[in-house]
Amino acid sequence: MHTKTGRRLLGLSMAVLSAATMLTTATTASYAQSVDLSKWSPEYVKSIAGTKKFDAAKDCGAVVPNDYAGSVSYWYTGPFEADPEIAHVQDKAFWEAFHAAYPNIKTDVQSITYNELLDKFRTSLLGNSAPAVIRLQILGGVEFAAKGYLQPLKPEDVGYTAADFWPGALKSVTYEGVSYGLPTNNETMAMIWNAKVFKDAGLDPDNPPATWDDVVAYSKQIHEKLGIPGYGLVAKQNAGNTPFRFMPQMWAYGGGALDEAAAEPTYKTVEINNAGSKAALQAAYQMYAVDKSVPTSALTNTQGENQAPFIAGKLGMMIAHPAEYAKMTDLASKATGSDKAVADEVVANMRYGLLPTGPDGKRAVVFGGSNIHVVKPEFVQGGKVDEQAVKALICFWDSPEWSTKLAWVGSNPGNINGFLTDAMKERLDTIKFLDVTTSMLPNGIPFPVIPQAPEIMNIIVPDMLQNALTGNMTVDQAADDAATKVQAIVDGGGGI
Amino acid sequence: MTMELSAGAAKRRGAGGWRWAGRIFLVLLLGFTVMPMIWMFITSLKTGFAAMQYPPQWWPAEPTLDNYWRLIDPSGTVGRDFLQYFWNSIWVSTLTTILAVVVAVPAAYAFSRFRFPGRTFLFFAVLLRNMFPAVVFLVPLFILMKALGLVNTHGSLILTYLTFGLPLAIWLLKGFYDNIPVQLEQAARIDGATRFQAFFLIVMPLSTPGIIATSIYSFIGAWNEYIYAYTFLTRHDQMTLPVGIQRFFSENATDWPGLMAATFMMSIPVVVLFLVLQRYFVRALTEGAVKH
């Protein structure tokens, strides 16, 4: 057992090292590097957790005095009913702590669901009724920066430095050389599978598929042996879940929407119809249309629709956050009677592993997360932005302690110092598999940092999948069609 | 020994067969219609885990009312917000209905009783708005509401809902007024009533079923509307139910039992409205206005 774990760790470290080298090369030119990526591994993450104490109220008090009186309006996607209880607890604790640290700052907070936030923000900007501060998914900010809605914001404005954040994350808030926000949390996902399903299908229950070709083969085997979907393919149109799950496959095969996977991306070269992209699309087509080894409802599925069959033992594997484990544990804890035993068994059979590699050993994952931004006064409700109150809120939200606690189940702290906190140690101790998803960070590839990224990722990529999977177009035609559309909007046509 | 059926008996037997077939068809149709509601209710009694089981539990092994309790418990965030959404929906739908009826009643009466230049054109022009999908008017109406300073207010919804509620109300009510014999009003006028008196004392009571049927249509239209409410409102304290219950969807998960409980509760006012006013509704569809 120990030997096996040791071998896996060694392999993992090697993979991380190679990816890290690539990422470091790509980013040190722009930002000071506070993270030793060459050491980044599950063991390293565990070793630094709980080694340093921070005091958000005191540290932020040095940026904005704690007795400052003012007001700030804020929109974000907070915890909702389907989220684990711990997310609600941490959210509530944050606001209590903030109001204790800044008793004279009034907050007007709106928690808006993930799928509504971008649309609602666009609408509010048109109506000059936007909030002063907003936290958006990593894909969202650059669109608004390019349109002139956001104020420049850099780490130093709120008492931090560039070295306190992941370089890739800072890239995601930088448009034409200007920083328009700060990363609040960063996330990378992993492969989650049901060990019992693997075992029943004659697969190794303790190891995930090593390559994406294995995913296709495993999915087929699970479907043939057990009559259930093997892999939780997600292909819903206009849904963020789709690119988050398909792009890692595309990148691993050597493809991409543009050249975002390159060490020095220019975002000018369209790669959505190169050989690697087509190979990834072909693999998805093989699973959906030929082997029929993924859910028939994949065309309208988000990750939410994968949860039910997975927890019922009717789905073999899927890409997921550590939140998935927390969610399943949460559901199991609330199950009663005869359901309880079944739920506990499902949780016991959950396993996490690194995402598969492409044929050339390339491993990739979307460098996801959220960023916090400040809106220009003319678009804000009331026409004013209380700069000091804004700074106090952002400083507090992005402090090592709260950046970690607010990302409790689904993510990692945006502020890298969060990895040193007691909260991080507690997370690692209580959230099984967090070390796996965290160790995927160096493999993270940010979506293209261009205003058209949401349209490319949320619309063109899912449409391409739909065209291929439904047989509306051949794989080649679907990829070429997508390339034409990407080229058009990169050249200034189309766009949201 | 065989008995030959008379032609009448055979006809009756045939008719009986058709009757049974009709009944079976109606029962199947009822099942098809009601099944989603039943499944919604059953799911609302499950825990999150039980709702995700496959094969599905046709009746929860451990039924719970927790999902409903969460919605009506004002001490919790969900309950507080849900009750607020509920109240907002009641307020917006009721006000929309009242305004629609208040405006539609005289307008429909005018179309029914008066002859004036462009009457037919105007009458059809009223429906023009309803010939286009709601989304076509979304941006223009938003810009208009912004100019009026009504974004993030219920006023924006009420005004918008009137744009599609009014035409329907006018058309429905005109049909009712057309069926009320003009002689009744003329008789009242001969007895000394003014036109207004004749309208309020004779026509209005006779058109009550029609007004109620129109009110129900108007109320349900406003109650269920999503896209304008979603666009015009961002504040939780302003949201209506269709938008508010989005909170049961998270980035990577859905609280199905909670969502089903909320949806079931959302359907209650409409069902109650129908049950209470059913007889008026049926009368509106079947009754002539001539009294003998």
Q: Is the pLDDT assigned to residue A23 strictly greater than 60?
A: no
Of chain B residues 36-75, which have a CB less than 8 A from chain A?
47-54, 61-62, 64, 70
Tokens describing residue A109:
């907070």
Average pLDDT of span A424-448:
86
Average pLDDT of span B41-64:
88
Task: Tell me the pairing of strands A368-374 and A182-187.
Answer: antiparallel
pLDDT of residue A1: 38
For the stretch B205-255, pLDDT in tens is: 888 888 988 898 899 999 999 999 988 887 888 999 999 898 888 877 788
pLDDT band per the 50, 70, 90 thresholds, residue A387: very high
For the stretch A443-479, pLDDT in tens is: 889 899 888 888 899 899 999 999 999 999 999 999 9
Q: Which residue has the tokens 């006064």?
A: A377
pLDDT of residue A30: 35
For the stretch A104-158, pLDDT in tens is: 999 999 898 888 898 889 888 987 889 999 999 887 888 899 999 999 999 999 9
**Alpha-helical segments (H) within A28-160:** 42-48, 56-61, 85-101, 114-126, 141-146
pLDDT of residue A36: 67
For the stretch B106-129, pLDDT in tens is: 999 999 988 889 888 888 888 887
B252 touches chain A (CB under 8 A): yes
pLDDT of residue A10: 36
Residue A187 or B99, more confident: B99
Other Cβ atoms within 10 Å of A34 Cβ, number: 14
pLDDT of residue A238: 80
The phi-psi region of residue A186 (left if phi > 0; otherwise alpha if psi is between -120 and 50; otherwise beta) is beta
pLDDT band per the 50, 70, 90 thresholds, residue A31: very low
Q: Please choose, from the candidates A384, A363, A364, the residue with its C-alpha nearest in 3D space to the C-alpha of residue A374.
A: A384
User: E-strand spans in A305-354?
Assistant: 317-320, 350-353
Helix (H) / strand (E) element for A273: namely: none
> Which chain A residues contact residue B246 at CB under 8 A?
113, 115-116
Distance, in angstroms, between A404 CA and closest chain B CA? 19
pLDDT of residue A22: 34
Q: Tell me if the bond preceding A295 is cis, omega within 30° of 0.
A: no
Does the distance separating the beta carbons of A115 and B249 come in below 8 Å? yes
Residue B28, burial from CB neighbour count under 10 angstroms (0-12, 13-18, 19+): exposed
Residue A12 or B276, more confident: B276
Q: Which of B46, B67, B141, B234 to mutate to test the interface with A (most CBs of A within 10 A)?
A: B234
CA angle A272, A274, A277 (to 5 degrees): 60
Average pLDDT of chain B is 86
Distance, in angstroms, between A314 CA and closest chain B CA? 7
Average pLDDT of span B256-278:
90
Of chain A residues 34-73, which have a CB less than 8 A from chain B?
none
Looking at the DSSP bridge assignments, the partners of residue A268 are none
Does the distance separating the beta carbons of A320 and B78 come in below 8 Å? no
Q: Please choose, from the candidates B21, B19, B3, the residue with its C-alpha nearest in 3D space to the C-alpha of residue B11.
A: B19
Does the distance separating the beta carbons of B230 and A321 come in below 8 Å? no
> Which chain B residues contact residue A112 at CB under 8 A?
234
The residue length of chain A stands at 496
HEC secondary structure over A229-264: CCECCCCCCCCCHHHHHHHHHHHHCCCCCCCCCCCC
Q: Please choose, from the candidates A296, A274, A244, the residue with its C-alpha nearest in 3D space to the C-alpha of residue A462.
A: A244
Of chain A residues 227-266, which have a CB less than 8 A from chain B?
240-241
Other Cβ atoms within 10 Å of A474 Cβ, number: 15
Average pLDDT of span B34-59:
89
> Which chain B residues contact residue A321 at CB under 8 A?
252
Q: Which of A128, A331, A337 lies at the smallest CB-CB distance from B62?
A: A337
Q: Is the pLDDT assigned to residue B48 strictly greater than 80?
A: yes
Does the distance separating the beta carbons of A81 and B250 come in below 8 Å? yes
Looking at the DSSP bridge assignments, the partners of residue A444 are A365
pLDDT of residue B286: 62
> Which chain A residues contact residue B247 at CB under 8 A?
80-81, 113
Average pLDDT of span B130-154:
86
Average pLDDT of chain A is 87
* A336: nearest CA partner in chain B: B62
Distance, in angstroms, between A58 CA and closest chain B CA? 30
Which of A116-120, A190-194, B5-9 shows the lowest mean pLDDT across its residues?
B5-9
Q: Which of B43, B45, B52, B59 to mutate to test the interface with A (most CBs of A within 10 A)?
A: B52
User: What 3-state DSSP class applies to A495?
Assistant: coil
How much of chain B, in percent, has pLDDT values that exceed 70? 92
User: Whole-angstrom Cα distance, residue B255 to residue A363?
Assistant: 33
CA angle A158, A161, A167 (to 5 degrees): 120
How much of chain A, in percent, has pLDDT values that exceed 90? 58
A167 touches chain B (CB under 8 A): no
Of chain B residues 214-233, which have a CB less than 8 A from chain A?
230-232
User: What 3-state DSSP class applies to A357?
Assistant: strand
pLDDT of residue B133: 86
**Interface size, chain A vs chain B, as Cβ–Cβ contacts under 8 Å:** 129
User: Whole-angstrom Cα distance, residue B246 to residue B259?
Assistant: 8
Residue A58 or A330, more confident: A58
Q: Which of A110, A304, A324 lies at the smallest CB-CB distance from B235?
A: A110
Q: Is the pLDDT assigned to residue A166 strictly greater than 70?
A: yes
Q: Which residue has the tokens 């708005």?
A: B129
Q: Which of A126, A309, A336 lies at the smallest CB-CB distance from B47?
A: A336
Q: Which of A110, A127, A410 lies at the smallest CB-CB distance from B151?
A: A127
User: Whole-angstrom Cα distance, residue A178 to residue A201?
Assistant: 52
Looking at the DSSP bridge assignments, the partners of residue B249 are B254
User: Whole-angstrom Cα distance, residue B78 to residue B67?
Assistant: 10
* A114: nearest CA partner in chain B: B251
Does the distance separating the beta carbons of A311 and B47 come in below 8 Å? no
Distance, in angstroms, between B55 CA and closest chain A CA? 8
Q: Which residue has the tokens 């799950």?
A: A245
**Alpha-helical segments (H) within chain B:** 7-44, 48-51, 66-72, 77-113, 119-126, 138-148, 154-179, 182-190, 195-198, 204-206, 208-224, 227-232, 241-244, 256-286
Does the distance separating the beta carbons of A82 and B62 come in below 8 Å? no
Q: Is the pLDDT assigned to residue A399 strictly greater than 90?
A: yes
Whether A376 contacts A199, CB under 8 Å: no
pLDDT band per the 50, 70, 90 thresholds, residue B8: low
Q: Is the pLDDT assigned to residue A496 strictly greater than 50?
A: no
Looking at the DSSP bridge assignments, the partners of residue A372 are A135, A182
For the stretch B57-70, pLDDT in tens is: 889 888 999 999 99
Does the distance separating the beta carbons of B52 and A410 come in below 8 Å? no
pLDDT of residue A249: 97
What string of DSSP letters covers A147-214?
A: TT-B--B-GGGGT--GGGB-HHHHHTTEETTEEB-EEEEEE--EEEEEHHHHHHTTS-TT---SBHHH
Residue A25 or A316, more confident: A316
User: Whole-angstrom Cα distance, residue A56 to residue A398?
Assistant: 9
Query: What are the residues whose beta carbons fall under 8 Å from the beta carbon of A493, sequence distance 6 or more?
Result: none
User: Whole-angstrom Cα distance, residue B114 to residue A232?
Assistant: 65
For the stretch B82-97, pLDDT in tens is: 999 999 999 999 999 9
The phi-psi region of residue A382 (left if phi > 0; otherwise alpha if psi is between -120 and 50; otherwise beta) is left
Query: What are the residues whose beta carbons fall under 8 Å from the beta carbon of A371, sequence distance 6 or more?
Result: A135, A136, A138, A140, A141, A169, A172, A173, A181, A182, A183, A184, A414
Does the distance separating the beta carbons of B255 and A80 come in below 8 Å? yes
Q: Is the pLDDT assigned to residue A49 strictly greater than 70?
A: yes
Q: Is the pLDDT assigned to residue A168 strictly greater than 60?
A: yes
